[in-house]
Every structure is written in C-alpha cells, then in structure tokens.
Amino acid sequence: MTTNKIVNGALIPLTDGELTALKVKEKDWKDSEPIRLAIEVRSKRDSIVSQTDWMGLSDTAEMTNDWKAYRQALREVTSQDGFPHSVKWPTKPE
C-alpha cells in the first residue's frame, strides 16, 4: 500500500486519516469487482445479441430454431452458476 505522497516535489508520509481513507477506497474498489465484472459480461452479451437482431426482422427469412436457442442462451448467461466470474458462452450456430 502507498504510504507516501508527493507535495511540491517532496515525498512525505500520508497522515493516519489519509491512510484510513485510502484503505476504505481500496476496499470499496475490491468489493465492487463482481458488479464491474457483471457489467462487462452483460455488455458483451448485449453486443453479441444485437449482432443477430437483423435475423428477427419481418423482411428477412424466419430465424431458425438453432439461432433462437442461441439467442435465448445468451440472454440466460446472467443466470448461470458462477456468473459473473465463470461464464460459459453458448456456441454460435453456423
């Protein structure tokens, strides 16, 4: 942990209050890691789903069952055991 700071070019120790505040910030950052990871996974999932949205448009051929199942599996990523730390991405149909 950082115990010094630079003030006007000089290296000086952090005060007890600054050390306490730093420890609180570091704990908050660590504690929020699952939330940040979940946001990243959802963002990736949403991007993948959006890349297949065109298949569901009325002026295109009907979406196959394989693609429907794939899109549903993507939506269910957040309900997997281990989410957000361990995600098993579904396999994209050919």
What's the mean pLDDT in 69-78?
95
Give per-residue pLDDT as tens, 16-72: 999 999 999 999 999 999 999 999 999 999 999 999 888 877 676 778 899 999 999
- What's the rounded Cα separation, in Å, for the pair 64 and 43? 25
How far is Cα 93 from Cα 29, in angstroms, rounded to an integer? Answer: 38
Radius of gyration of the chain (CA): 23
Residue with tokens 């997997």: 80
User: Do 56 and 11 contact (CB within 8 A), yes or no?
Assistant: no
Q: What is the pLDDT of residues 32-44, one digit of tens each?
A: 999 999 999 999 9
Distance in angstroms between the alpha carbons of the first and the last residue of the chain: 50
Q: From residue 81, give the alpha-carbon distance in Å to each of 76, 77, 87, 88.
A: 11, 9, 8, 10
What are the DSSP E strand ranges found in 1-94? 4-7, 10-13
